[in-house]
Structure 1
Amino acid sequence: MTSNKIPVTVLSGYLGSGKTTVLNHVLNHRHGLKIAVIVNDLSEVNIDASLIKEGGGLSRIDEKLVEMSNGCICCTLREDLLVEVEKLAKENRFDYILIESTGVGEPVPVAQTFSYMDEEQGIDLSQLCRLDCMVTVVDAYRFWHDFSSGESLLERNQAVGEDDTRDVVDLLIDQIEFCDVLLLNKCDMLADDELDELEGVLRKLQPRAKLIRTVDGKVEPLDILNTGLFDFEEASRSAGWIKEMETPVHTPETEEYGISSFVYERVKPFHPQRLMGWMEEWPAEIVRAKGTIWLASRNDIGQSLSQAGPSIQFGPAGHWLAALPREEREALLSEEPEAVENWDDRYGDRINKVVFIGIDLERERLIAELDACLLTEGEMLQDWSRLPDPLPGAEQMGSTGAVL
């Protein structure tokens, strides 16, 4: 691949997954490439950087190490990242830039840094660099422990600040759903059947990424360097739930290790109290759920449902097109042919559409339970705004009634 832009690979992955081990391995088997390394660590003393130095993968002639401490690439240190990468690229001494992001960093903001002009800094890294590959390292041994812990980063003293309210599981999902390569590390610590099941779940969560099993971070460097894999639009739409949502007719595949998925779709609103009751007893077999909810008591505004493990997020997603003033609605519909195609004569674009991914899902039972949470025919004729609404975000809603 010929280009005068310097290629960049970004390593993401939760704390302890083995990113530094992968980095050391690549630096020790770099096929003659002159690699500049940027290491981002949240602590004031950059332990990761010292480990890399001890690993012997850096030479003062061939590589340069930039330590970014006491902050996070994806938030407070984004400006520093821009400046450092621009500086390295303009030196014209390196064949490659390898970035190890902090374990609590999300990959999307880092990718955006390389994809768009930064007006404030006046730096456009896309003119100097080519983001080649987003890699996420997953700790096979601790994955289910972290996924199901129900803990927040604050509770683990890993947050980037007091206002960082993210759950560990949400961070894991963010890192898995936006990448080109998934390195499933520490595979020697699981039995074969456990490893196969975990790989099956990861492939369901992220079907586009190349999945590679590793032990001690030993990956063939050319699997993550100069791959040409990164495409921002493709990466943004590579999550399993998006692929599932976009499949016109879903045919259930042969289930390996009981891993399956389905889309629940109904043109009828949920009764808020019954839906809340169902969500309070959330089925343990659902690993991931994502979609749009039509709530009778909030008829003008669609609700977003996002679940990963024990973390469930629910709240307003924006107005239904059908609830907008006529001129605004028609202008938006002219830009969205898919919305016109699926338009309901009575309810417009209002719909319940949620993807469920899980292990040993009892699909028919789940569908029946969800159907029981919809309004009955009698309730459809009532004033929906009077329905009890215990779900989060109710206090932000104005009075909305039924479309009758």
Structure 2
Amino acid sequence: MDNKKVDDIIPVTVLSGYLGAGKTTILNHVLNNRDGLRVAVIVYDLSEVNIDAELVREGGGLSRTEEKLVEMSNGCICCTLRDDLLQEVEKLAKEGRFDYILIESTGIGEPLPVAQTFTYVDEDQNIDLSKLTRLDCMVTVVDAYHFWQDFNSPESLQQRNQEAGEGDTRHVVHLLTDQVEFCDVLIINKCDMVREEELEKLETALRGLQPRARIIRASHGNVDPKRILNTGLFDFDAASQSAGWIRELQKEHHTPETEEYGISSFVYTRKVPFHPERLLKWMAKWPKAVVRSKGILWLATRNNTAISFSQAGVSRQLAPAGLWVASLSEEERRAYFGTDYPKSPDWDDKWGDRVTKLVFIGMDLNKEAIIGSLDGALLTDEEMLGSWRELADPLPAFY
């Protein structure tokens, strides 16, 4: 297998997107307009009755001699990537009968684990897909008609009876965000059901969430196959760092590159901790213009622990992100990092790496008002000198 020629490596496109976005319709359109390309299709669906696969059969015109449809059901794609999906892709690639593999992922699946499957050797099964296949394009399909309804919904997948299994506590909005933030191409489907001004608003928001992706508008899943097949777009490192909030954090100096699309962003950085009670009150009056925010918080009452913050739509989540390096003793630092432990650019002699650094992305942002109100949730000069342990802390315990 080491002698396999580059020409024999089979390209792969993965279609992701929330339930009902139109992935199967797009897949059917591609299959009906593939110009003789021999395509192996993998449809991954969680329902007991694999309706998606049935639609592919009925509308895709699949030939048993030239093409193959693989159905997988009753499992979470995140949990089974190392077995059935891995095995199916390897089997199809080794058959040598196909020019392309097209995967339709489950509507409640995240694209990152799928992409990872093609980038490493699975030692348990001794399968290395990188020697057989080339991940060409990660596509996320967005439902133009329902996107804002789902994005602004407080519901979890469990509340919609769409969870992948026991213990799946994900919210709909965070699934949508994960799907949008990791892709090469964003297809806005069902454009015929939405007014032009609403489409422009949606496209603006999507560009803020994912500045790197190519955006395609479509109706009834009508997409030129050349725009998602053999594109050469996928780059794992670039895709992993392409979310709007990551790109914003990585900038040395903020430049309003996204403002040409009608969306703006900024990073809020402070070396003063938040008062938990005032921060919670601030979050209760969340600025509606903010579509996405993410980063690290410094809370006065949790002085040893960095707190990760993630917001998308109406959902806001706080969770521990590990200990501040400055909270460790010298002995602990050497045990974890050796003699040369890393010092962040935000390091100072008094507070070490403790810092609040939050990215805000939104439309018509009032940057000054957001910064001013957030500053009001920081400790005052007097509180900085007092006992932080005695401050009111209504936030939930994380551990």
TM superposition score normalised by structure 2: 0.94
Q: Which residue of 2 aligns with 1:48?
A: 52
Kept after mapping to 1: 8 A contact 2:326/2:353: yes
Give the letter for the 1:184 counterpart. I
Which whole-Å deviations, capped at 9, do the CAs of 1:203-223 have from their partners, x for residues lacking one?
A: 010001111111111111111
Alignment partner, residue 212 of structure 1: 216
**SS of aligned partner of 1:55:** helix
Distance 1:333 1:59, change over 3 A: farther
- Matched with 1:177 is 181
Identity %: 66
Tell me, yes or no, if structure 1 residue 372 matches structure 2 residue 376.
yes
> Which of residues 322, 344, 347 is equivalent to 1:343?
347
Superposition map of 1:307-322 within 5 A: 307-322=311-326
Q: Secondary structure at the match of 2:273?
A: coil
Q: How does 1:88-127 map to 2 (within 5 A)?
A: 88-127=92-131
Deviation at 1:370, TM superposition (A): 0.4
CA distance in 1 between counterparts of 2:27 and 2:287 reads: 39
User: Is this contact kept in 1: 2:26–2:222, CA < 8 A?
Assistant: yes
Q: In structure 2, what is the equivalent of residue 191 of structure 1?
A: 195
Deviation of 1:322 after TM superposition, in Å, equals 1.4
Structure 2 residue aligned with 1:57: 61
CA deviations 1:286-328 (Å, max 9, x no partner) are: 1111000011111111000000011111011011121223255
**Cα distance change on mapping 1:123 and 1:358 into 2, 3 Å:** same
SS at match of 1:175: helix
Q: Secondary structure at the match of 1:109?
A: helix
Please point out which of 26, 33, 50 is paired with 1:29: 33
Whole-Å separation in 1 of the counterparts to 2:61 and 2:209 = 33
Change (3 A) 1:254 1:220: closer
Superposed CA deviations along residues 340-375 of structure 1, whole A, max 9, x for unmatched, are: 443212111111100011222221111111000001
Q: 1:163 aligns with which of 141, 162, 167?
A: 167
What does 1:138-149 align with in structure 2 at a 5 Å threshold? 138-149=142-153
Determine if contact 2:45/2:52 at 8 Å carries over to the other structure: yes
- Give CA-to-partner distance per residue, 1:34-90, whole Å, 9 cap, x none: 110000111122111110111133111221000001123222464110111111111
* Structure 1 equivalent of residue 18 of structure 2: 14
Q: 1:162 to 1:340 in 2, by over 3 A?
A: closer
1:201 to 201, 205, 214: 205
CA distance in 1, matches of 2:286, 2:339: 35
Is the alpha carbon distance of 1:143 and 1:254 closer, same or farther for their aligned partners in structure 2, counting shifts above 3 Å?
Answer: closer
- Which of these residues, 265, 276, 279, is aligned with residue 280 of structure 2? 276
- TM-score by length of structure 1 reads 0.93
Amino acid at match of 1:166: R
Partner of 1:362: 366
What is the alpha-carbon distance in structure 1 between the residues aligned to residue 74 and residue 333 of structure 2? 47
SS of corresponding position for 1:27: helix
| Distance of aligned partners of 1:194 and 1:388 in 2 relative to their CA distance in 1, 3 Å threshold | same
The answer to whether the Cα contact below 8 Å between 1:71 and 1:77 also exists between their aligned partners in 2 is no
User: Is this contact kept in 1: 2:204–2:262, CA < 8 A?
Assistant: no
- Please give the per-residue CA displacement for 1:7-40, whole angstroms capped at 9, x wherever unaligned: 1110000001010011001111112211100001
Unmatched 5+ stretches in structure 2? none
CA deviation after TM superposition for structure 1 residue 258, in Å: 5.2
Secondary structure of 2:199's aligned partner: helix
Unaligned segments of structure 1, at least 5 residues:
397-404
Q: Distance in 2 between matches of 1:98 and 1:129?
A: 12
C-alpha change, 1:96 and 1:254, in structure 2 (3 Å) is closer
For the 8 Å contact 1:286–1:357, the answer to whether it is kept is yes
Which of 301, 308, 314 is the matching residue for 1:297?
A: 301
Aligned length: 393
Distance 1:190 1:95 in 2: 36
* AA aligned opposite 2:248: E
Aligned residue in 2 for 1:226: 230
CA contact (8 A) 2:186 2:214 kept: yes
How many angstroms does 1:132 deviate by?
Answer: 0.9
Say whether the 8 Å CA contact 2:151–2:176 is kept in structure 1.
yes
Deviates more, 1:2-11 or 1:131-140: 2-11
What is the alpha-carbon distance in structure 2 between the residues aligned to residue 215 and residue 144 of structure 1? 18
Contact 1:34 1:93 in 2 (8 A): yes
Inter-partner Cα distance in structure 2 for 1:386 and 1:290 = 28
